[in-house]
Structure 1
Amino acid sequence: MTHSALYLNPSEAARRLGVSAKTLRLYEQRGLLMPLRTSAGWRTYGPTEISRAKEILALRGLGLSLMAVERVLHGDVKCLEQVLAQQQAALEQGIGDTVAAVERIRLLRQSIAAGHIPSLCELAGLSKPVRDACLSLELPWPWDGERFELLDIRPITYIVGPLGSGKTRLAREIAAALPNAVFLGLDRLAEDGSPAHTRLDGDPGLKANVESALTWLVEEGGSPSEALTALLAWTEANEPACLVVDMVEQELDRATQEALISYLRLRCSPHRPLFLMTRSSSILDLEAVGSNEAILFCPANHGVPTVVQPYPGAPGYESLSTCLATPEVRARSHGVIAFRPTA
């Protein structure tokens, strides 16, 4: 291997690490990763920089904020206790799920030995992973009863579309169709978020979870606000089993939006999927969409919503990308809603 092959430009380094070049730039801005410079001034990443980037990504994978990552890289490991406890709890939950599945199989085998023929539902329930949960429903106006199916519910699903495309109605239908799901509308912001404070005051455990999440988000560069607390009062709760959020970015600035989606990506679980309505490119960065995420696009012509892949050239990608804008641009249309005639 030549000497030059050991040094990668930002795009090559990002591809090697499985992240976006934007992520590497963020790490640089926070002082966590300092690329070398060529004689022409271009950024380049050698073996040492790639190794440091892998360390950062490993710590991020544990759920550490960027500020906490910085502390660990400087030798302060006290902040690892909480995230390791969370990892342990998640693994123990997984063990519990596996033990329960083994017990169901054992009981089915006993039942078969006794002459009972199991139903197809019983058998399908053994082999079908949670992630493969599916959704099938008839869409109301403006789709007039067309069938909508989502065969693979990811931990995070974005719902995107232009004004008047029916995305809010779709979100409500999804929440109504999925078991133990809740639609979290913009009324969460009513009365300066007082419903959220009432919810937190009645649940000390949830309040502690929200305070911990706020600390993480502030360390990540976000700003505390009533709008953010109103969101966390639901995302940090043990229930519901599925949360569908109307305009997740509402009243959050750019830095907070970016911190929030980083947090949700780290915390997302197939056991508690999130559906996030958005038109913000800070929430839905098409370059950063991972394998645990999906995008539902509602076309302007009221065609059936479709899953769009997050890369140029994919069917629907161009229409999808035109629906997304920066928080600054989105703020100009704050409060604008589409006219909805009576069905």
Structure 2
Amino acid sequence: MATEALIERLLDAEQGPSPSAIDALHDLLDDATIETSAMPKSVAEAARLVGLSTPTLRYYEQEGLVRPGRNASGYREYSALDLRRLVFLTRMRLSGMTMTDLKRYILLVEQGPSTIPERRRIMLDQQARIARQIRELGLALEITEYKIRVYEGHPEG
């Protein structure tokens, strides 16, 4: 499932009985799309599933953000864990997280549990950036809604 379709399902799930987007995300990632028992995916399959281009996947690999395994022929194979990481990376990039912060975060993840305090700090910083973006988008929405109300009576102007 492409990332856009995943997001649509998450947004729809938030309207239903699921208590949180995280629960909905886990439910969706555990369905037939990305399972722990699923066969590894090729670069093209992984790109299609997460809605990224194959050059982007290769770039993420070059930057050390994801490290897919290789099959006997030397081709990349993306595991369920790799796909979950790609979904995370996609969401963080969409939210404005810098490549520098992402690389630092992934490096810390790979160093293990002793880095949890620093990872938490990175996520708190990101949370603050996202909260600000939401406030800014709220202002943009208010202005847009105002203009729509104005134009309802004055279409030429």
**Residue 95 of structure 1: aligned partner:** 142
Which one of the candidate residues 35, 39, 42 is aligned to 1:6? 39
Q: What's the C-alpha RMSD, in Å, of the aligned pairs?
A: 2.7
> CA 1:48 to 1:5, structure 2 compared with 1: closer, same or farther past 3 Å?
closer
Which one of the candidate residues 19, 43, 56 is aligned to 2:52? 19
Specify the SS of the correspondent of 1:6. Answer: coil
**Residue 112 of structure 2: aligned partner:** none
The structure richer in strand per residue is 1
**Residue 69 of structure 2: aligned partner:** 36
Which one of the candidate residues 57, 79, 99 is aligned to 2:90? 57
> CA 1:6 to 1:84, structure 2 compared with 1: closer, same or farther past 3 Å?
farther
> CA 1:47 to 1:4, structure 2 compared with 1: closer, same or farther past 3 Å?
closer
**Matching residue's letter, 2:89:** I
> CA 1:44 to 1:5, structure 2 compared with 1: closer, same or farther past 3 Å?
same
Larger Rg: 1
In the superposition, the TM-score normalised over structure 1's length comes to 0.29
**Residue 125 of structure 2: aligned partner:** 79
Cα-to-partner distance string for 1:280-331 (whole Å, 9 max, x where unaligned): xxxxxxxxxxxxxxxxxxxxxxxxxxxxxxxxxxxxxxxxxxxxxxxxxxxx
After the TM superposition, which residues 320-335 of structure 1 pair with which residues of structure 2 at under 5 Å, given as runs? none
**Residue 99 of structure 2: aligned partner:** 66
Q: How far, CA to CA, are the matches of 1:4 and 1:11 in structure 2?
A: 19
- Number of residue pairs the alignment of both structures matches: 109
Runs of 5+ unmatched residues, structure 1: 109-117, 126-343
In the superposition, the TM-score normalised over structure 2's length comes to 0.58
Q: CA deviation at 1:99?
A: 3.1
CA contact (8 A) 2:38 2:80 kept: no
Q: CA deviation at 1:67?
A: 1.2
> CA 1:10 to 1:65, structure 2 compared with 1: closer, same or farther past 3 Å?
same
CA contact (8 A) 1:71 1:77 kept: no
CA contact (8 A) 2:68 2:77 kept: yes
